[in-house]
Chains A and B, each alone.
Chain A
């Protein structure tokens, strides 16, 4: 973390960048927030630890409109989102100075709380320099421990790898934290009967409160005006009036980001109701891999995506009927 701060100060001082986009220390042990830093003094509050899960790529859309360059801190998986945003002409590459920051898996406070740990006073083991694989958590109800891996976000268990796909410089070591199969959950759902699938998704989506957190955090959801916010159509909604509407929002969103979703997992991280929204996107990714060949959105900033290109080898629509 100190290395990132020193470099940020340098870049600010020598005029390479006008601001730094990183994370600011929170007021609880686990709630740092995305923030801009413009001076060395601001950087006193800079933090980078296990709870900096927020993907900052999308903030670069607004930062691209500002005067001067922005130093943006990206974790390996965030860099995929950034590439995809370049591909979609939503961020200005020349306005960004990308510092690829090391990552050894990010933590999910919801998982810690779900394990019954509450009244948290401090958590040690969250710093990038900490070598231990156990979190030591002091609470007003006694001391607890939890393994780092058990407290990781779902997306870290299917880590895309420790390499940044775009950067200007790298600071810190990364670790590939993959310990599960990316499509294992999808295969389980595919094996369900149509009725079981319907019941599964109905149960999950009926929890939706239409807060739009999944959409607003999603780097692939960068429309200036979302169809669900437009008062020109009947699609504008603020509430799920019936079970059809509960599903419609999420299904349309999943279709719209298909082929562009990098599987960054932010949708599931932010959902206040714990809906595993990534499952929708991952099903599309799996299908695209099977029908168009292996493809990882955001792996590069130039190639055409399978759903935005046409080749004579493309799957015919009838494949849907054939696959069942």
Chain B
């Protein structure tokens, strides 16, 4: 294990950013989100959750796929270059790291998404333990340990020092390249980290959602859950906006669109939301025509369809961003609780 004084963090970030891109939580106009590091960026490692999850680093909200240009009656098609520069995402939380595992299942299974795969190959994740989890957090329910997030490197923030532990080859390589600023940790530091972890675990036990039961949610309950009359009640306050999907670390649906450039076409993909009326619109029309159906889709996907196709893995990681941000105060926790209550009746 290594360590570094918190006072030296800017030196660490500068060194990381010297030969690579570095993304970390930055305060821009009052909101904290992952953004590229610059000398004058307002880095904020104290805010527990960024508004958007850091999935952008691997799966950007919009990205070009290829460009078609027409010149003198000739057409040229240029595919967008794949990411070929190494980068580091610093400060991802346990839930967000788990979110990437979910995305891996989607984008790295056949047929592999080359844009995503290139970013995964070049990206190193430094995960930060959550010192003060909040009431909207429920990562424990999905088996995430926010006190010890497992990524390429795990870091813990203490009073005036940050502890650094590499867990993978990528993590070791990054650690080696930062030798001039990272110091060796000793056994008292190991003990300090253990204490920190125990303190965090204690807090997690106190969180109101930590003991949420997922009983009855798995890949085998498709018909039963799909046909439940509860959805008709639950969807009603939904405004059909895309906030929950766009702040979510695991929502992975995208749309492919063409932008008319005047002398050609720029084909890009961008995040889509199952809450939107034209989601999965096809030539024959739309296969979900009511907001109830669209609302149901989001939760069925996370709690039933995804586990059915991925050995039981849910595609919710309990980050609680939807809990924090839904304009109508709806969220996946309320959905799960409503079904548990229904079961008791």
What is the interface of chain A, defined by CB distance below 8 A to chain B? 26-28, 31-36, 54, 59, 118-121, 140-141, 203-204, 206-207, 209-213, 215-217, 229, 231, 234, 236, 238-241, 269-270, 272-274
Inter-chain CA distance A129–B145, complex, in Å, is: 42
- Is the CB–CB distance between A33 and B62 below 8 Å? no
Q: Mark B234-250, 1 if CB is under 8 A from A, else 0.
A: 00110111110111000
Partner of B272, one of A26, A238, A241: A238
A24 closest partner in B (C-beta)? B237
- Is the CB–CB distance between B206 and A217 below 8 Å? no
- Is the CB–CB distance between B237 and A238 below 8 Å? no
Chain A hits for B29, CB < 8 A:
203-204, 206-207, 274
Q: Which residues, 1 to 59 on B, are CB-close (under 8 Å) to A? A: 28-31, 33, 48, 51-52
Chain B hits for A215, CB < 8 A:
241
- Is the CB–CB distance between B237 and A241 below 8 Å? no
Partner of B255, one of A35, A54, A209, A238: A238
For the A-B complex, the count of residue pairs with Cβ-Cβ distances under 8 Å equals: 129
Inter-chain CA distance A119–B206, complex, in Å, is: 9
What is the interface of chain B, defined by CB distance below 8 A to chain A? 28-31, 33, 48, 51-52, 61-62, 132-136, 203, 206-208, 236-237, 239-243, 245-247, 255, 257, 259-260, 268, 270-273, 276-278, 281, 323, 325, 327-330, 333-334, 337
- Is the CB–CB distance between A211 and B242 below 8 Å? yes
Chain A hits for B208, CB < 8 A:
27-28, 121
Partner of B276, one of A34, A140, A206, A229: A229
- Is the CB–CB distance between A140 and B207 below 8 Å? yes
- Is the CB–CB distance between B135 and A28 below 8 Å? yes
Chain B hits for A212, CB < 8 A:
241-242, 276
Shortest B187–chain A CB gap in Å is 30
B334 closest partner in A (C-beta)? A27
Query: Which among B52, B243, B255, B330 has the greatest number of chain A C-beta atoms within 10 A?
Result: B243
13 A–B contacts, CB within 8 A, in A order: A31-B329, A33-B328, A33-B330, A119-B134, A121-B135, A211-B247, A212-B242, A229-B278, A231-B278, A239-B271, A270-B241, A273-B31, A274-B31
Inter-chain CA distance A270–B326, complex, in Å, is: 8
Known: A209-B61, A213-B241. A119 touches B135 (CB 8 A): yes
Shortest B51–chain A CB gap in Å is 6
Chain B hits for A209, CB < 8 A:
51-52, 61, 246-247
Chain B hits for A26, CB < 8 A:
329, 334
Chain B hits for A236, CB < 8 A:
257, 278
- Is the CB–CB distance between B328 and A238 below 8 Å? no
Chain A hits for B133, CB < 8 A:
119
- Is the CB–CB distance between B278 and A211 below 8 Å? no
Chain B hits for A141, CB < 8 A:
132
- Is the CB–CB distance between B51 and A140 below 8 Å? no
Shortest B55–chain A CB gap in Å is 12
B237 closest partner in A (C-beta)? A34
Shortest B121–chain A CB gap in Å is 24
- Is the CB–CB distance between A216 and B241 below 8 Å? yes
- Is the CB–CB distance between A238 and B271 below 8 Å? yes
Partner of A211, one of B135, B203, B243: B243
Chain B hits for A27, CB < 8 A:
208, 333-334, 337
Inter-chain CA distance A215–B243, complex, in Å, is: 12
Question: Which 4 interchain pairs have the tightest Cβ spacing?
Answer: A239-B270, A270-B327, A239-B62, A31-B329
